[in-house]
Amino acid sequence: MAAKPIKRVLIANRGEIAVRVIRCLREMGIESVVVYSDPDARSQARRIADYAIPLHGTTPAETYLNIPKIMAALKESGADAVHPGYGFLSENDSFARTVRDSGATFIGPSPESMGIMGNKVEAKKLMRRHQVPVTPGSIEPLSSLEELRALTSEFGFPMILKAAHGGGGRGMRVVRSDADLQAAFEATVREATAYFGNPEVFCERYIENPRHIEVQVMCDSHGNGIYLFERDCSIQRRHQKLIEEAPSKYLDESERHRLGRIAVTSALAAGYEGAGTVEFICEGPGRAYFMEMNTRIQVEHPVTEMITGIDLIREQLRVAQGETLSVRQEDLVVRGWAIEARINAEDPVNNFAPTPGLITQWQVPQGPFVRVDTHVYQGFEVSAAYDSMIAKVIAWGRDREEAIQRLTRALAEIEVRGVPTTARFHEAVLAHRDFRAGEFNTGWVEAHLDELKEVMVAADGSSLDAASILAAILVQEQGREETLGVAGARDKWKAAGRLSGVGRHA
């Protein structure tokens, strides 16, 4: 594939990933175009992008999931490429094909690769052909309740039902007895149809409280593939990741490279190009099963960037232009440790209820080796229409303990008024002896939630002694630096929020 320089990119997304892509584009001298819904009319992405086009609407279906509207914006903007970010249409092979057919470059894998790896059933069949270990379960989508019952007789309970085209923790049901099979099967089919537009469902043996380990891969159009090591995403609640770290304390060096090689094999088997993540479910350090591949950039990609020094968005753009990978596998080494905490507009004490509203005060962490990816600013309105994540705080250390200490310090600096957030929850997790020891799994948060709530309540002032215990583990670093984010942005970027339609910033 000959190099084809990209000049202008339309970002078919919103929030912090849109801001992240815009910043990379600016560093590379490539123009940016954002599309925005009515609630995002005053978004940070709109304020700093080179061009902005309204989608007119409130819900995702009306806006960021509306392929005809986004394609019309692509034509209007004159962009020659599309970056899908994560979520929304990022793993929609029909959208990728539509972009390609328009003559524009889709910054991601081909529609064919996306279709194979985006379908969990087809992906597992491909993995089996290439001797990649997969979780025992159905090979084809389930055709009936009777077929499901036959499989449970073969593999036993518990089983988990999953939407074949699902993701993000939706379209999933754990079944522990024959009495629950029918209701679970019918509910999963309904969710698969409602969320993903496809009723296909498959089943596999449910592994109780495993570790969730994923490997970042990058492939180019010249047949090269590399792995950029693993991330441990086992701190979850209801299949939603909360804290991610790289590398994983769970793996030794040999297992780290073994999973990496398996991940590259998986990607190249599908003819993959671009950034992708191969996810594994682990019963033990030496017993890891292929779970799925996310055919896009991940929310948690910053921790990989922090330990490798590789800008994954820049690498995506280089590959999309037909260039070869900028690094070889032998050039990559793990440097230190990085941990990311997702800051959501949710009330963790009140069952993580979403808390949309106006942010009246916004202060994010500062200091060395701390990164904050966010689209939020003081006066920003958190909409109930979209995901509740408002920031990611990432800290790097020379080792895991230093990374934990630095992230703890950074979280203590967060000052948000107007909406409750999950910042104190993350402090409580980082303080826990199990997390410090690296002894946790995907069920750990639910098992310790009451204990964590007690620490959060204490940290808010109801128990000075408990708050003092929590404070004792904080590493207080002195000095302030300029707030990360939009500080120092050129005045003409700020004018974007006043523009309507597509227009060059003056």
Q: Which residues are catalytic, by number?
A: 296
Closest CA to 160 of 440, 388, 442: 442
The H-or-E segment that residue 275 falls in is strand 274-284
Closest CA to 304 of 401, 233, 407, 375: 233
Closest CA to 410 of 363, 456, 370, 362: 370
- Coil, helix or strand at residue 184: helix
Tokens for 26? 């600016």
Instruction: Give me the phi and psi of 196, to 5 degrees please.
Output: -125, 0
- Coil, helix or strand at residue 490: coil
Instruction: Give me the phi and psi of 61, to 5 degrees please.
Output: -60, -35
Closest CA to 375 of 363, 394, 386, 389: 389
Do the beta carbons of residue 93 and residue 165 sit within 8 Å?
A: no
- Coil, helix or strand at residue 345: coil
> Cα separations (Å) of 387 from 14, 263, 288, 343, 458?
10, 29, 30, 11, 28
Do the beta carbons of residue 35 and residue 11 sit within 8 Å?
A: yes
Do the beta carbons of residue 189 and residue 221 sit within 8 Å?
A: no
Q: What is the DSSP letter of 351?
A: T
Q: How far, in Å, CA of 296 to CA of 308, rounded?
A: 19
The rounded radius of gyration (Å) of the Cα atoms in the chain is 22
Instruction: Give me the phi and psi of 502, to 5 degrees please.
Output: -100, 130
Percentages helix, strand, coil for the chain (3-state, rounded to 5) are: 40, 25, 40
- Coil, helix or strand at residue 317: helix
Closest CA to 429 of 340, 318, 350: 340
Q: What is the dihedral of CA 126, 128, 134, 137, to 10 degrees?
A: 90
Residue type, 85: G
Do the beta carbons of residue 244 and residue 256 sit within 8 Å?
A: no
Q: Identify any residues that bridge with 238 across adjacent strands, giving them in sequence order.
A: none
Do the beta carbons of residue 274 and residue 109 sit within 8 Å?
A: yes
- Whose tokens are 């398996």? That residue is 262
Alpha-carbon 361 to chain mean position: 26
